A and B are shown apart, each in its own frame.
Chain A
Amino acid sequence: MMLTMEGVHAHYGHIHALHGIDVEVQVGEIVTLIGANGAGKSTLMMSLFGRPQASAGRIVFDGEDITHLHTHDIARRGIALVPEGRRIFPRMTVLENLQIGAAQADPANYDADIARVYAMFPILQERQSQRAGTLSGGEQQMLAIGRALMSRPKLLLLDEPSLGLAPIYIRRIFQIVRELNRDHGMTILLVEQNANQALKVAHRAYVLQHGEITLSGTGAELLASPEVRAAYLEGGGHA
C-alpha cells in the first residue's frame, strides 16, 4: 500500500473541512478524487502535506506515519505535488524551476532526470532559458509537472491540472497522466473537476461531498453510476 488515510479530519480555523476521510492508494494506481467546488478536494490534498495538519485520524505513506510531519519533510519522503494554479516560480527561468524541483534529489540523477523531462515535454527544452512566467498556461502546467518529476517521487499528486486550460492542453495533460502511469509506473492521485476525463484515466475513484467520501469504486463503475452522471457529468459539467 502506497498511501492510506484513515478517518482524517481537518479544520481551517473554525471550519470543519474534512469529516473522517478514508482513502487508499496502491502502488502503480491512478486514483482520482472528484467533487464539486468546495467539497474539500484541495483540502484533502493539502492535508496530506500537513497544510492544514489532520486534526484527527492517521495518514500512512509507504509504511510510515506522516500525519504530524512538516510539509517539507513529507515532500522529502517521496511525495511530489503539482499544486492547484501551478505555482511555478514566474521570475525564474524554466531550467531554474526544474533545478529547484531536483533540490532534494540525488545530484547524480540530475542529468538523466532533466533529459527525461525534456523528452516528455520538448517545449520545455526549447524554452529553458525563458522566464517561466512568460509561458502559456498549458506550458506552465507542463513545467509544474516536470518540476514535480525532478524529485523522482514515489507518489505524484495532481491538484486540478486541467483548470483553466485550452481543450487541446486538457487532452494532453490527461494523456501525460496515462503515460506516466503506464510507461514509468508512477502512482498518481488526481484531484479533478473534469470528472469525465478523470474517471476515464483512473483505475479507482472517490467522490467527495461536503468533506465526506460518498462513493467509491473503479473509474468505469463511477462513470456508469447514475448518481455520478447526474451530479458531475450531465449537469452542465466540463465534459
Chain B
Amino acid sequence: MSAVVFARHQITPAERLRDAGWVAFVALILGIPLIGLTTVDAGGSLEVSTRFGLLAACVVAAFGGRLGLRWMIDTMGARKLERQRADTGKSVGISPVKVVNVIGWIALGASIALPIMYSDNRYVVDTATTVLIYVMLGWGLNVVVGLAGLLDLGYVAFYAVGAYSYALLSTQYGWGFWEALPVSGGLAATFGILLGYPILRLRGDYLAIVTLGFGEIIRIILVNWTEFSNGPNGISSIPRPTLFGLEFSRSAAEGEQTFSTFFGIDYSPMHRLIFLYYLILVLALLTHAFVSRLRKLPIGRAWEALREDEIACQAMGMNTTNIKLSAFAIGAMLGGFAGMFFAARQGFISPESFTFTESAIILAIVVLGGMGSQMGVVLAATLLVLIPEFGRNFSEYRMLLFGAAMVLIMVWKPSGLLSHREPTLRLSRGGARNQDALEEAAQ
C-alpha cells in the first residue's frame, strides 16, 4: 500500500445542482420535439398541439433523477473507499465464498420445493421454468465470455441451432427427445467450432461484431430458407419429452402409456409443466456440475489464463487455437441443450424467438451476474426474468422499468452482483499445511 493518502475532492451542492441543471437542459432540448410537440387528428387533417406541462414534469424528473443518481454514486464510492481503508489486508468476518455457497444451497432447496408448493399455479411454474432456461443459457455463455473472455454477441445462434435440430429431427424423422439430445448438442457444438475458426485472430470489438453477424446470419437463414425451416411460420407440433416412455397427455398413442394411467392418478395438465420444470432443473444442475468441474481442470484454467493474457499463454506452451475452439464448442453445446429444451417445452418455434434481443439479455445476465460467477448468473437470470414479469402491471412502462433496473445494478455493482472469483485451489502438500495454518489463524 502506498503511504500517500489521496484526498477526495468533495463535491459541493452547487456543483451537484449545476450538473443536474445541465442534464435537465439536455432533457428539455430533446424533449421539445419528442414530448412537447405532438400531432392530433383534427377531422381528417393533422394538427400540431403542445404538451408543455408534461414536458416540464419530465424535465423536473430528469433533474431530480440526475441529482439522486449522482448522490448515490458518490456516497457509494465514499463508503467503498472507507471500507478499503479500514481493510488492513486480513479478511475479517465471513468469506464471500461461504456466503455464495449458502445462497447456492438455499436456491437449490427453493427450486426443488417450488413446484410442490405451487403445484396448482401454472403461472409460477411456467415463469420458474423460463428462469431456469436463462440460467442454463447464462452458464453456457459464461464459459465463452466469463471464463475465456471472448465477447460473443451472437450466442442466440446456438440456442436456435439446438431448437431447430430437435424440431426437425422430431417432426421430420420421428426422433424422441432423449435420442435427439446428444445430436442437438453436438450440432450446436459443431456450429460453435464453425464460428470459432474464422475468428481465432480477432479480439475485443472486432470479435463482438463478427459474432453479432453470425447470430443474424443464422436467424436470416431460418427466416428465408422456407423449404428447410418453414420460414417465418416456424415449426409446430413438436413432440413433448416423455419420462421413460410415459407421455404427459390425456390419452396415449397406440402401444404407449400415459403418466397418469401408469401411476393410477387423475390426469392433470400440471403434471407436464412440473415434469418440464424438473427436467430443466436437472439439465441446469448437470450444466453447473459440468462447468464447475471443467473450471478446476487444466482446460478451465487455460480458459481463464486466455482471458487474462493471450501472449503469456502461448509462451507457456498453450495452443490458444484449441483453447478458444473448446470454449466456443462447449458454450455452444450448452446453448444447444437449452434451445432443444425450449423447443420441446413450447411445442412451437419460429425465428422470432431467436433475435438479437435474446443474445443481449443472455449477455446482460452474464455481465450483471459478475463475469465468470456461476451463482451470479442465477441471481441475474432470476432478476432479468422477474422484473419484466412484475412490470406487467405497468404495461407500457415495463421495458423502462427493466432498463432502469439494469442501470441501477451497474451503478451499484459495476463488476456484477457477485464479482468474487473463487480460486480453483489445488494446494501443494507444503502449501496445504501452510494454508491450513492461515485459515486457523483467520478463525
Contact = CB atoms under 8 A, between A and B. Distances in A.
Answer yes or no: do A and B interact: yes
Interface of A: 49, 51, 70-73, 75-76, 80-81, 83, 87-93, 95-96, 99-101, 103-104, 110-111, 114-115, 118, 125-126, 128-129, 147, 151
A114 B431 CA distance: 9
B224 interface: no
A87 B309 contact: yes
Given A118-B430, A128-B431, A129-B423, A101 B304 contact: no
Nearest to A81: B315
Interface string B222-239: 000000000000000000
Contact of A104 (B317, B421, B430): B317
Given A89-B305, A89-B308, A100-B305, A125 B316 contact: no
Contact of A125 (B304, B314, B431): B431
B47 to A, nearest CB: 60
Contacts of B434: 125-126, 128
Contacts of B317: 72-73, 75-76, 103-104, 151
Contact of A92 (B308, B314, B319): B308
B318 interface: yes
A111 B428 contact: yes
Contacts of B431: 95, 114, 118, 125, 128
Given A92-B305, A96-B423, A103 B316 contact: yes
A118 B435 CA distance: 14
Contact of B428 (A70, A88, A114, A147): A114
A99 B301 contact: yes
24 contacts: A70-B314, A70-B319, A72-B318, A72-B319, A75-B314, A75-B317, A80-B315, A89-B304, A90-B308, A91-B304, A91-B421, A92-B301, A92-B305, A92-B308, A96-B301, A99-B298, A100-B318, A101-B316, A103-B316, A104-B317, A111-B428, A114-B428, A118-B430, A129-B425
B312 A95 contact: no
B423 A71 contact: no
Interface string B243-266: 000000000000000000000000
A217 B304 CA distance: 43
A118 B304 CA distance: 23
A104 B435 CA distance: 26
A71 B425 contact: no
A125 B433 CA distance: 11
A118 B431 CA distance: 9
Contacts of A81: 315
Interface string B421-441: 101111111110011001000
Interface string B291-322: 00000001001101101110111111111100
A104 B301 CA distance: 13
Contacts of A100: 301-302, 305, 313, 316, 318
A114 B432 CA distance: 12
A71 B314 contact: yes
B302 to A, nearest CB: 7
Contacts of B316: 75, 100-101, 103-104, 147, 151
Contact of B435 (A90, A101, A128): A128
Contacts of A101: 316
A202 to B, nearest CB: 22
Residue with the highest number of chain A CB atoms closer than 10 Å, among B309, B314, B430, B438:
B314
Nearest to B304: A92
B427 A128 contact: yes
B301 A83 contact: no
Nearest to B371: A91
A29 B304 CA distance: 35
B280 to A, nearest CB: 31
A90 B312 CA distance: 12
Nearest to B299: A103
B88 to A, nearest CB: 14
Contacts of B304: 89, 91-92, 96
A76 B315 CA distance: 9
A99 B309 contact: no
A101 B316 CA distance: 6
Contacts of B427: 95, 128-129
A83 B312 contact: yes
A55 to B, nearest CB: 19
Across the A-B interface, give the 7 residue pairs with the lowest CB-CB distance, nearest first. A75-B317, A104-B317, A89-B308, A71-B314, A87-B312, A81-B315, A76-B317
A115 B424 CA distance: 19
B430 A87 contact: no
A75 B305 contact: no
A88 B305 CA distance: 9
B63 to A, nearest CB: 40
B423 A83 contact: no
B429 A96 contact: no
Nearest to A105: B317
A103 B318 contact: yes
Nearest to A115: B430
A91 B426 contact: no
Nearest to A82: B315
A91 B316 CA distance: 17
Nearest to B434: A125
Given A89-B304, A91-B421, A128-B431, A99 B318 contact: no
A95 B423 contact: yes
A118 B434 CA distance: 12
